[in-house]
Every structure is written in C-alpha cells, then in structure tokens.
Amino acid sequence: MSVQEKYGTRRINRTPSKKTETIVYYSEDRDELESWVEERRADGSLADLGKIVRTDYTKSGPFWLCEITGETEYDENGIRFIRPADGPQNHSLRTVCLSVSLTQLIHYRVCWDHWLWVRVTQESATDAPAPPSGYDNLTSDAAFMVGEARYAWTETANAPTENPGEGFRWTQVANCPTKPGVTHVERYTYQITEYGEYDHESEAVWAIRENLNTPSERPLLGTFGIQGGSWKLDDARLEPNGRKWRATLVWTWNVHGWDTDIYPPQLRSV
C-alpha cells in the first residue's frame, strides 16, 4: 500500500514565539514509510510544517506510523524567524578514517594491551606459565582467581603493585599482551555534508547553534539509507553567498550511537 495520512492526527500548538505542528502518516512497510518521509523532506513537500524537529516511528497493529513534528519560530513582531523554504537544500555522503583507541572498541579484550601476571610461590620454576583458559575473553583489568591461583593485569611490563604475600611472588604469564604496541586502530565511518542558504545571517547562525555537537537520529535531509546508530554535527561553516548566507553542516555517524552522557544535550530526533 502507499503511504497515507492518518485522519484526524494533525495538531497545531501556537505561542507568541513558536508554532508547533504535528501530523501522522502510516504504511504497512517501515522501509517504504522512511523512504517516503525522507523524499518529502528533501523535495520540500513538508515545508508547511516548518523546520522538522522530530520524526518518531512506532508500530500499531499491522501498520507503521511516523509522527512528524515541525516548528516555526517568530520574532517579537510576529514575523516568521525561520522560513520553511530556508535550510539545507542538498547533501553529499563520504567516508572518513578515524583513529580509535583499542579500549573504545565494542569487542575490546584486556589481553590485547595488558601484561598478565600470576602469583606463585618463591620456589616455583622461573619459566613463564601458560595463560588460564578464558583469559582472552576478559574485558576488565580487575584481578581474578582461577581455582587457587590469583591473576593480575598491568598496563606495563612491571609487576603488579599488589603485595603477593609472604612466600609468594608475581611471575609474568606467557603470550601477553597479544597485540603488543597496538594502541589505536583505523575505523571508517560515514559523514554527510548538508548545504543550505538563508536570507539572513542570524537564521544561518541559529541553524548551526541548535545542532552543533548534538547527537541526532539523522541529519536534516536524511541518511542515504544508512540505518541504525546516530549522527552528530561535528563541523560547520558559514559564509556569504551573494545576498544570502550559506551554511555547511557536516554530520558524523557512529554505528553504536553517540553517548548522550558525553555529548549533551539530550538525543534529538530531527
């Protein structure tokens, strides 16, 4: 079936400084619904809603619903501050290479870059013992026990500072670290650059300020079909272009989603 507007869902809330308008569309297929919404945003079909600030997808019976919320701001004289025709008109996609710390990888293992030690008696052989079973699945550098044996991790080749106890010493386990000298890896991700023109400098500055360094479900003009994760506006430029002001917004994708505790304010759906 084609995408349809859900009857009776259009809502308008007006204050002296802002108009908020919400409408709901539905389809049996989520992919079809998402593509339809992105196409309408790109071609300006949703311009009457103002600046799109939220798109929420929910399942209701056999249908997928998309609730779209737009805002239009007004100055003290009641004149529209951001014109629906303003904003990004086109966008581009590229890949970029990032240097990522080993510890930031979701599948990080502590044996990659730590030395493993085991507590042994003073009379024990000096040969490096084999590592215990399962050591290469550990993600925490906390000391641990395997039977009666106590193990500890260190970030350098120096023995643990923990006192092994009378009659005991620390000895280094063989084959740790498993990736010596590796501290960072290269990871490729996506960046989307959006280009928009504004009639007034203040409008362009506002568009940058409200999005900068803020995690979002998607850039304003869509994601070129990239699913999951979240995006963050990492770079922006503002420059005059004839009688208009040109704003360039660069969004970076994180497949696991940007941490909203580190990058405030709250996660926004746009």
* Same-domain pairing of 51 and 129: no
Query: Based on the domain organization, do 208 and 268 belong to the same domain?
Result: yes
Cut 0.85: pTM above it: no
Closest CA to 65 of 11, 29, 38, 41: 29
| 162 and 260, same domain (yes or no) | no
Within this chain, do residues 97 and 214 fall inside the same structural domain, yes or no? yes
59 and 164 both lie in a single domain: no
Cβ contacts of 121 within 8 Å, gap of 6 or more: 167, 168, 169
Whether 95 and 202 share a structural domain:
yes
Print the domain residue range for 36: 1-76
* CA 156 to mean position of chain CA atoms: 32
Instruction: Answer whether the bond into residue 88 is a cis peptide, omega within 30°.
Output: no
221/89 Cα distance (integer angstroms): 8
- What pLDDT sits at residue 266? 40
pLDDT of residue 47: 72
pLDDT attached to residue 85: 47
What is the CB neighbour count within 10 angstroms for residue 211?
A: 20
pLDDT of amino acid 76: 64
Whether residue 266 sits in one domain with residue 196: yes
Mean pLDDT by runs of 10 across the 270 residues of the chain is 86 85 93 88 74 87 92 68 60 92 91 96 87 95 94 96 94 95 92 87 76 84 89 92 88 89 56
Place of tokens 């497949």: 255
Q: Which pLDDT belongs to residue 82?
A: 47
Say if residue 187 is in the same domain as residue 90.
yes
In a domain, 234, yes or no: yes
Give the position of tokens 């024990």. 124
Q: Where are the alpha helices (DSSP H) in the chain?
A: 30-43, 201-209
Distance of CA 133 to CAs 40, 55, 109, 125, Å? Answer: 56, 48, 14, 20
CATH code of residue 96: 3.30.2000
Chain centroid offset of residue 159 CA: 38
Q: Output phi, psi for 49, to 5 deg.
A: -80, -10
DSSP helix/strand/coil, 186: strand
In the block, tokens 């919400």 appear at 22
pLDDT for position 81: 53
Say if residue 223 is in the same domain as residue 99. Answer: yes
DSSP per residue over 214-261, as a string?
Answer: -EESS-TT--TT--SSEEEEEEEEEEEETTEEEEEEEEEEETT---TT
